[in-house]
Amino acid sequence: MSEVVLSVEKLMMHFGGIKALNDVSLQVKRNSIFALIGPNGAGKTTVFNCLTGFYKASGGKIEVNVRGEQTNVIKLLGESFKPTDFVSPKSFASRLYYKMFGGTHLVNRAGLARTFQNIRLFKEMSVLENLLVAQHMWVNRSLLAGILNTKGYRKAESDALDHAFYWLEVVDLVDCANRLAGELSYGQQRRLEIARAMCTRPQIICLDEPAAGLNPQETEALSAMIRLLRDEHDLTVVLIEHDMGMVMSISDHIVVLDHGIVIAEGGPDDIRNDPKVIAAYLGADEEEVV
């Protein structure tokens, strides 16, 4: 239970002269809910962008340790993208993903998926298509198998559909399967992003402000879903969230960032009463402290 699945050591991220992250270290335990909190501009999304390969970190080490394999994320991003097969549907989907998500697509293969603070869906595709394209790296089909419509090809297609509908059910979007993703309400789009991330079959899912814009009932349902991911799907959840009620009720471990530096870490009770944390939030926005 205490195995570390994600290890970050002395992570640095510079934007020109700005040090957005300065020696950030954290360890995420397998099958836990880990929260990264801090005032606006603290560097939370930048940590996610580095972890998931959206940015290449300026320094430090990020190691993903799942399915018995260790992946050095920063090294992985240094290797160039080489699609092996130029004509298969799998390769096409890979390119589409690369265009939309950059290196995130590569880190995804190592077992880490994410959602975005500013939702990124294929808005012109249907809800179902968003979930099918997310499975391209698991559905190992060649163009030839497609043309010949082999048994293996049909099985892969039907498995992908089953998987998509399984997650549509979990996020309560079955009725919207054929609607365009861009037509969904904000809350539905957030849920679809989670389903899409799950369709890549990750071991770790990073959620960037999943409760933003949700009403209290939706937030409650989201908390239940996050617990379900941990408890029934053996997942590790890394969560960025400003809703402190939610963070304190579901997190196993919390790390607090301020100005790109880790200022505190511990369980919800430690964090709630930590004077450094209270001061950081008060300095930023009094209403954020609950």
Ligand X SMILES: Nc1ncnc2c1ncn2[C@@H]1O[C@H](COP(=O)(O)OP(=O)(O)OP(=O)(O)O)[C@@H](O)[C@H]1O
Q: Which positions touch Mg ion (CB under 5 A)?
A: 44-45, 117
Placement of tokens 């994600």 in the chain: 6
- Build a one-symbol-per-residue string for 35-54: x at contacts with ligand X by CB under 6 A, - elsewhere: ---x-xxxxxxx--------
* Closest alpha carbon to 19 in 51, 54, 53, 43: 43
Number of residues near ligand X (by CB under 6 A): 12
46 or 52: CB nearest ligand X: 46
Nearest approach in angstroms of CB 107 to Mg ion is: 18
Q: Is 117 in the site for ligand X (CB under 6 A)?
A: yes
Here the tokens at position 264 are 């505190």
Task: Give me the half-sphere count of Cα atoms (radius 13 Å) on the Cβ side of residue 121.
Answer: 28
The one-letter amino acid code at 140 reads: N
Helix 216-233 to helix 186-199 angle (10° resolution) is 10
- Find which of Mg ion, ligand X, none residue 46 binds, CB within 5 to 8 Å per kind: ligand X
Task: Give the nearest distance from C-beta 27 to ligand X in angstroms.
Answer: 20
Identity of the residue, 18 or 147, whose beta carbon is nearer to ligand X in the bound complex: 18
Nearer to ligand X, 38 or 187 (CB): 38
Contact 254, 265 (CB under 8 A): yes
Contacts of 210 (CB under 8 A, 6+ apart): 115, 190, 194, 222, 226, 239, 241
- Binding of ligand X by 81 (CB under 6 A): no
Q: Are 54 and 102 in contact (CB under 8 A)?
A: yes
Strand 261-266 with 253-258, pairing:
antiparallel
- Degrees to nearest 5, angle at CA 99 with 198 and 83: 85
Query: Which one of ligand X, Mg ion, none interacts with residue 15, CB within 5 to 8 A by kind?
Result: ligand X
* Residue 43 binds which entry of Mg ion, ligand X, none, CB below 5-8 Å type-dependent: ligand X
Specify the residue, 1 or 18, whose C-beta has the smaller distance to ligand X: 18
Task: Report the nearest approach of ligand X to the CB of residue 193 (Å).
Answer: 16
Beta bridge partners of 206: 114, 238
Interactions with ligand X, residue window 147-176 (CB under 6 A): none
Output 136 or 209, the one with its CB closest to ligand X: 209
Minimum separation from the CB atom of position 252 to ligand X (A)? 21
Go through the chain and tell me how many residues it has. Answer: 290
Q: Are 144 and 88 contacting, i.e. CB atoms less than 8 angstroms apart?
A: no
Among 20, 24, 106, 139, binds ligand X (CB under 6 A): 20
By CB under 6 A, residue 184 contacts ligand X: no
Radius of gyration (Cα) for the chain, nearest Å?
A: 19
- Give least dist CB 117 to ligand X, A: 6
Residue 73: CB minimum distance to ligand X, A: 17
Sign (positive or negative) of CA dihedral 52, 55, 56, 61? negative
CA 219/CA 72 separation, integer angstroms: 34
Instruction: Choose the binding region for ligand X from 33-41, 122-130, 199-207, 215-223 (rule: CB under 6 A).
Output: 33-41
| Minimum CB distance to ligand X, residue 96 (Å) | 23
In the complex, the residues that contact ligand X under the rule CB under 6 A are 15, 18, 20, 38, 40-46, 117
